[in-house]
Chains A and B, each alone.
Chain A
């Protein structure tokens, strides 16, 4: 199974993205998207932003669960209070696990945000953040 994670800023700008695979069922953590699907990932994910905009005001939860589908792919979303969106493209439904993943990711994001040299909506280039996200992916997905 493969995943594509994107963090979108409050002005709908991309802040961070990562593609990875599962470690379960003998996976090695790398994504198995075919080349053209991999290229499409950012587009698929960004196209669900419109849906989020509608759903986020009707739903008080931050985890919006699966909000969009694209052929066999599902898109889960999590919107923080500061209107930062976490989007995950995945293949099978697993709301609870993904919720935990998002909650921990939120924690990591907040820690990054607390650094005085980082400002809101700036792209996250920190290697530490990158590593920790990969650890989270390994733990949950």
Chain B
């Protein structure tokens, strides 16, 4: 069988093997989670970002297994392949979007995902307390998802948003940086 491109894998799985749910259900559920976090942390948005990231991490470490099981795709040979898989397979099958991959750094260890369309932030207007617009990364859960998912395949990355249309920026951009490839390490104290 010919090697399939990430785009084909993504399209294929999305069409045949994914159960769909109503987009507004997802949007409103995520919205109420964020709003509730803001309430619980009395509008300490830095904390809220952190919590969303943690929640995402816990989702990510599970989702990666799901992706790999559904797509039975091969090991990525470079970080560029990984980026392709994230956009064309990962985001495609879970959110039906394929963020553009741009702005590679010289050493190929950093890239940006540009979200033209972000189903999580439909209808959303950030609170106008003058603080949220500078501090809250509304879709920060996605950063955690990437971090968690990639950690399970031995890639330690840092993911963070650098701009968001909700804040009035032109684009929604997430910067992903490869920190190191984790080696299979012996657990401490294990002979």
Contact = CB atoms under 8 A, between A and B. Distances in A.
Interface string A96-133: 00000000000000011011111000000111100000
A115 B128 contact: no
A116 to B, nearest CB: 3
Interface residues of A, number: 11
A114 B127 contact: no
Contacts of B31: 114-116
Interface of A: 111-112, 114-118, 125-128
B35 interface: yes
Interface extent on B, as a size class?
10 to 19
A39 to B, nearest CB: 27
Nearest to B33: A116
Interface of B: 24, 27-28, 31-32, 34-35, 38, 122-128
B30 to A, nearest CB: 8
Nearest to A112: B125
B35 A125 contact: no
A126 B32 CA distance: 19
B124 A126 contact: no
A83 B2 CA distance: 60
Contact of A115 (B24, B38, B123): B123
A116 B121 CA distance: 10
Contact of A126 (B27, B34, B38, B125): B125
A117 B127 contact: yes
Contact of A116 (B24, B34, B128): B34
Nearest to B127: A117
